[in-house]
Structure 1
Amino acid sequence: MARIALAGFMHETNTFAPIKATWQDFVRAESFPGLTQGTDILDVFPGINIGTGGFIAQTRQLGHTLLPIAWAETVPSAHVTVEAFETMSDLILQGLREQQPYDAIYLDLHGAMVSEQFQDGEGELLRRVREQVGPDMPIVVSLDLHSNTTQAMLDLSDGLIAYRTYPHIDMADTGARAARYLDALLRELSDNSSFKPAKARRALPFLMPMIGQCTMVQPTLGVYQELERLEQSLPGLRCLSFTPGFPPADIWDCGPVVTAFADNQDTADQAADALYHYILAREADFVVPMLAPDTAVIKAMQSNSHKTMVLADVQDNCGCGATSDTTGLLAAMVRNKAQNCVLGVLVDPAAAAAAHEAGLGAEIELAVGGKLFTEGDPPFHARWQVTGLSDGKFLCTGPFYKGVNANLGPMAVLTTGGVSVVISTGRMQAADKEMFRHIGIEPAETKILGLKSTVHFRGDFTDIAEDVLIVEARGAFIDRPEKLPYQNLRPGIRTSPLGQPFLGPRLA
């Protein structure tokens, strides 16, 4: 059986966001685990919906020996600092030197990392790894569905295995698929030591809004159904992936990409071309309408259903690099006198501290939110009652964050009229019911539930929702790519489905 080195370095970079990712952000944990090294990786990750967790479980079943090195991730934000990128890269490279000998390498990466010095963070890390281990070492990589998959990532790896669901309920499954892919590759190499999989990459000519990438509905649902059909029908096709991309990354390679790995070049090209043209023919279907905050709140208030109306505050999603502290939707809820209405989770450490100091049941005058994203709506001032307090520690049970021990620091529920807002100290996308339940709110019992999330909330909240309304409130994550002030895209790519092409920084 083989000896396989394992490492992970994950970040989704919104280059338009106000907060950068420092080394300390990677070290500490808020949602997914922070910096984890050595054999601790084998203890921490099994049972968590993360690629590394699935890879470990599947590799153990296959009988291979794992050589864990280091793993780190932090919430999406602006650029990864030089210190953070270099420190983590050095940990991985040093570990690869110390763990020799090994037969293959598995890397758990995101695909949309931008550092202060490199537009293609993953490509640069792979370049350094490949330079150290040589051209013949098998390197297999799992990627996020939102990867901006570059030619360098393709050239420097022997397999790119991407998530197929958004919400990402298949992250662990993707790690398991990567393990099976690598196992098959190693078996092939044992019979033919010179074997190299043929590769193909096709970049789509338009940017795809995040809300149009949800795999629970069309058109993206159909894309992955076609992908699986092609995988099953083309002999010799080892892996086919589609990464719709992460639009708020102002880099040359931003955008949707199809990649294929096969036994021969004709099969790789055939698979990549087929899926590319399938997607291109449906370009117009990736446009999803959004509602103004007041319009969404009023529509939700008019519902007569016993189920919850879910309002997605998609542009203030920290899972896309936003601050999760804007107040546009909150103000609309209060302004329209909504009842049995909850918004979460809004990041405001000072407000959480003030609520804890005042105590449960106290009434306080307080301005919440609007402190991190200063281009958004101002802090929302009201007289609040403190109706819930917690230490921010809870075990996630939903399909996206499953198994994660969250630690968001002091949290509070502040209520004014019929509107309550869940306040946190740390940042975490509102994608798990336990974020509310642990502090005394049962999501299914609310009439209106506002969630600072773009798509991941659907994994755990769809079952309680009468309807989901997409809200266009202000935030640091702009989900209309055509509105972003790009400077570095490749010329000619359309900045929205059927939209205008990017002509360059001086002409755009």
Structure 2
Amino acid sequence: MIRVAVAGFQHETNTFAPFPTPLSLFKTGGAWPALTRGASLYETMHGLNIPLSGFMATCPHEMMPILWAGAEPGGYVEDEAFEAITGEIVTAVAEAQPDALYLDLHGAMVTRAFDDAEAEILRRLRAVVGPDIPIVASFDLHANLSPAISELADGVTLYRTYPHTDLADTGARAAHLLDRLLQGPLAKAYAQVDLLVPITAQATEFEPARSLYAMLDDLDVTSADIAMGFPPADIPNCGPSLFAYDPDPAKARAAVDRIAATFAAAEDTFDARLEPAQACVDRALTLPGPVVIADPQDNPGAGGTGETTGVLQALIDKKVPDAVLSMLYDPEAAAKAHAAGEGAEIEIALGGAFPEYSQPVMATVIVERLSDGVFDFTGPMYGGARAHLGFVARLKLNGTGITVVVGSRRSQNADQEMFRVVGIEPADHTIICVKSGVHFMADYLRVTDRILFAESPGANPCHLETLPYTRLRAGVRLGPGGPVTGNEG
């Protein structure tokens, strides 16, 4: 029986975010499971939309489960966290001496010590298993994948949907690719694209990403994939990359070249779809409800602080008669609401903890509903997972039609349950505001197709020319038709 060691270590690092990601965030979980080890992975991963779940359900070989750890996107992963989790994986693999290895990684993890953290994980694992043990890894669509990743891994699969509804499917494809590699090696082809694509322009609900990903199934190779890249990462290998595998090296190279040419031809059609928050609210008021307004530049799922108040202030300024917003990350406000109790009227400061992005909104609020933040997701992306978001409170701004949901752990709103946890049914409201970039669409398109993207300051700027990059490789364009930047060092 072939023995396959499996492990996962996921983080999407925004190097511009104003806070680090410590080990404690991997241990406690939130929207995704907390750090899980050994045989407990069978129960924890069962039925979840996570690559490791799809791999374990598909792979016919004997599993040797090690661990899975993930944390909400944020700033640099602290070296202690990286060394603790990576060290545990490497030690377990060395002791297990498996016949093959599967890794559920993100591809955009950055630490102070390692720009290319996933390559460092692969480097250490390759050192203990040797050159002949096949290693297959799956990665996020937003991965920044270097040439070293291509060299160190025998096979790579990537998510093909954004919103990410195919995580488990990507793990299943990795299982099939590993089976093929166990029959013999495949030729690799790899290329980088010298263009940073804004996060909101990467959505596969829109062109050109929809067609770029659709073409993958038409390529006559064993496997091919596209990484769109994660722009708010000031590292040399930031940006899109392309992969193909086939027994015939010429066919693999031709597939990558075809994707690259199609990508280049589509550059001018990538659209970030942003409009200023005030104008966005104005337009929402002219449309039949419900209308969803996303706040992508403060998306916790891309390292945003999750507590900026630009969109909330626009709602207040426009005297919107009916709007709900979720989830504003504000542990202090949530704790104060819980201390006061349901029905209480309290003076409170909402959000605005980072003055470089926004100021607190001072308000009198009515505490309408409280929750411990433990609930089950039901949407297409998170569905089946259990959230642990700490104290959550539903606050009605007195004298307005605006209700804000505050929570105690950063998490993007990609699921309607982040309203329902405090008794709000999103479809019953005229304007629905979500702290999310694109993932919310998977669930909220069930409510409405009237979706707007507000431009309000946050840690995930979608106008990439505004980011203070200093370490990009030479020749990278900051957005479609944008300036060329980078350096040689």
What's the TM-score, normalizing by structure 2?
Answer: 0.98
Distance 2:89 2:420 in 1: 38
Read off the aligned partner of 2:367 and give its amino acid letter: V
The 5-angstrom pairing of residues 291-370 of structure 1 reads 291-303=275-287, 305=288, 307-370=289-352
- Alignment-derived partner of residue 443 in structure 2: 460
Equivalent residues of 1:206, 1:497 under 8 A apart: yes
- Alignment-derived partner of residue 154 in structure 2: 158
Read off the aligned partner of 2:198 and give its amino acid letter: P
Deviation at 1:257, TM superposition (A): 0.8
Distance 1:288 1:478 in 2: 10
Work out whether 1:407 is the aligned partner of 2:388. yes
Deviation at 1:98, TM superposition (A): 2.2
Equivalent residues of 1:486, 1:505 under 8 A apart: no
Q: Secondary structure at the match of 1:402?
A: coil
**CA deviation digits over 1:47-66, x for unaligned, max 9?**
1100011111112xx3x110
- Alignment-derived partner of residue 212 in structure 2: 223
Q: Secondary structure at the match of 1:385?
A: strand
Q: Secondary structure at the match of 2:212?
A: helix
Distance 1:408 1:505, change over 3 A: farther
Read off the aligned partner of 1:499 and give its amino acid letter: G
Work out whether 1:388 is the aligned partner of 2:369. yes
Deviation at 1:268, TM superposition (A): 1.1
User: What do you get for the CA RMSD once the two structures are aligned?
Assistant: 1.2
Q: Secondary structure at the match of 1:284?
A: helix
Q: Secondary structure at the match of 2:177?
A: helix
- Alignment-derived partner of residue 192 in structure 1: none
Work out whether 1:54 is the aligned partner of 2:41. no
Equivalent residues of 2:473, 2:488 under 8 A apart: no
Equivalent residues of 2:471, 2:486 under 8 A apart: no
Deviation at 1:505, TM superposition (A): 9.5
Equivalent residues of 2:122, 2:152 under 8 A apart: yes
Distance 2:14 2:451 in 1: 25
Deviation at 1:497, TM superposition (A): 0.8
Structure 1 residue aligned with 2:426, among 443, 453, 457?
A: 443
Deviation at 1:466, TM superposition (A): 4.2
Work out whether 1:488 is the aligned partner of 2:488. no
- Alignment-derived partner of residue 29 in structure 1: 29
Equivalent residues of 2:110, 2:117 under 8 A apart: yes
Equivalent residues of 1:206, 1:498 under 8 A apart: no
Read off the aligned partner of 2:77 and give its amino acid letter: V
- Alignment-derived partner of residue 235 in structure 2: 251
**CA deviation digits over 1:28-70, x for unaligned, max 9?**
11111111111111111011100011111112xx3x1100011
Structure 2 residue aligned with 1:267, among 247, 251, 254?
A: 251
Structure 1 residue aligned with 2:86, among 86, 89, 96?
A: 89
% same residue: 44
Distance 1:489 1:246 in 2: 13
- Alignment-derived partner of residue 69 in structure 1: 66
Work out whether 1:149 is the aligned partner of 2:145. yes
Equivalent residues of 1:167, 1:456 under 8 A apart: yes
Alignment size in residue pairs: 487
Distance 1:282 1:485 in 2: 26
Q: Secondary structure at the match of 2:338?
A: helix
Work out whether 1:433 is the aligned partner of 2:416. yes
- Alignment-derived partner of residue 111 in structure 1: 107
Deviation at 1:358, TM superposition (A): 1.1
Structure 2 residue aligned with 1:133, among 129, 132, 140?
A: 129
**CA deviation digits over 1:436-493, x for unaligned, max 9?**
1121000111100010000000000012124111100111111111110001101111
Work out whether 1:240 is the aligned partner of 2:224. yes
Deviation at 1:359, TM superposition (A): 1.1
Deviation at 1:288, TM superposition (A): 2.5
Please, which runs of 5 or more residues in structure 2 have no aligned partner? none
Distance 1:153 1:129, change over 3 A: same
Read off the aligned partner of 2:121 and give its amino acid letter: L
The 5-angstrom pairing of residues 30-45 of structure 1 reads 30-45=30-45
Q: Secondary structure at the match of 2:319?
A: coil
Deviation at 1:503, TM superposition (A): 4.6
Work out whether 1:79 is the aligned partner of 2:76. yes
**CA deviation digits over 1:312-365, x for unaligned, max 9?**
101000100011000000011011111220011000011001111111111111
Deviation at 1:261, TM superposition (A): 1.3
Structure 1 residue aligned with 2:360, among 379, 395, 417?
A: 379
Q: Secondary structure at the match of 1:353?
A: helix
Deviation at 1:201, TM superposition (A): 1.0
Read off the aligned partner of 1:151 and give its amino acid letter: P
Distance 2:232 2:87 in 1: 27
Distance 1:341 1:431, change over 3 A: same
Q: Secondary structure at the match of 1:465?
A: coil
Q: Secondary structure at the match of 1:494?
A: strand
Runs of 4 or more consecutive aligned structure 1 residues displaced over 2 Å after TM superposition:
503-506
Which sits farther off after the overlay, 319-328 or 335-344?
335-344
- Alignment-derived partner of residue 279 in structure 1: 263
**CA deviation digits over 1:349-391, x for unaligned, max 9?**
11001111111111111111011x3311100001111112111
- Alignment-derived partner of residue 421 in structure 1: 404
Distance 2:487 2:366 in 1: 51
Equivalent residues of 2:49, 2:166 under 8 A apart: yes
The 5-angstrom pairing of residues 2-17 of structure 1 reads 2-17=2-17
Deviation at 1:264, TM superposition (A): 2.2
Deviation at 1:116, TM superposition (A): 1.2
- Alignment-derived partner of residue 203 in structure 1: 192
Please, which runs of 5 or more residues in structure 1 have no aligned partner? 190-195
Read off the aligned partner of 2:156 and give its amino acid letter: L
Distance 1:332 1:122 in 2: 40
